[in-house]
Amino acid sequence: MIRQCAAVAILAAAAMATAAPATAGPLDTLFGSAGAGSSGSGSSDLLDAGSSALGSSSSKPQHFGKLGRPDATNGVKSINVWAYAPKTQAISPGVYPKNAQLGVRWNSTIDAGPVVDGNQCRMEVRLSGPKVPKNAQLTKTQDCTSAKTFLLRAPGSYSISVTDTISGASNSIEFDVQ
């Protein structure tokens, strides 16, 4: 059993190290998707960490989105984002039904790659799309790694950006609601 878990972890790390976290990976059928076409709450804790935390065959971790300032007090280099649909099945990759709780899951990483899992960030989560209520357009939190969902009733294209105002790091996802 331990050998099987180790093999799965190695395969997951190798597969995810080559793809940006905002896209679906080849292991989605095994663990659920951590990508933009997510069909569930994500996957195992292993995939929640994001590719930069898992490392890669090169010694330098990959960072996606707008990178943070090198002198940021919280050390955040980049933010990984995934579409988050905890109780909804995707109609197709990146397309979800209306009247569903949909949103974003994110984690922040430092320059060396490990995930920042604390409350030393100043995150702004911005939702844009058709008929977004004013109180849902901007959410603020100190959680460097977390998730946020919204009840999306109107069909159309949506975008969610996650920005750490301390480091300036940001990333975003886009998906459609039908």
CATH number assigned to the domain comprising residue 48: 2.60.40.1930
Mean pLDDT of the chain: 77
Distances in whole angstroms, Cα of residue 148 to Cα of each of 16, 99, 161: 23, 16, 11
Quote the domain boundaries for residue 152: 2-177
pLDDT at 58: 56
Q: Using CA atoms in the order 54, 71, 121, 117, what is the torsion angle rounded to 10 degrees?
A: 30
Decide: 46 and 139 in contact? Cβ < 8 Å.
no
Q: What is the pLDDT of residues 35-91, one digit of tens each?
A: 333 333 333 333 344 443 444 445 688 899 999 999 999 999 999 999 999 999 999
Q: How many domains does the chain have?
A: 1
Q: What is the pLDDT of residues 83-128, one digit of tens each?
A: 999 999 999 999 999 999 999 999 999 999 999 999 999 999 999 9
For the entire predicted model, the pTM comes to 0.69
pLDDT at 51: 41
In sequence order, which ranges of 17-158 are alpha helices (DSSP H)? Answer: 28-31, 45-48, 51-54
pLDDT at residue 34 is higher than 50: no
| CA 24-83-176 angle, 5° bins | 95
pLDDT at 47: 35
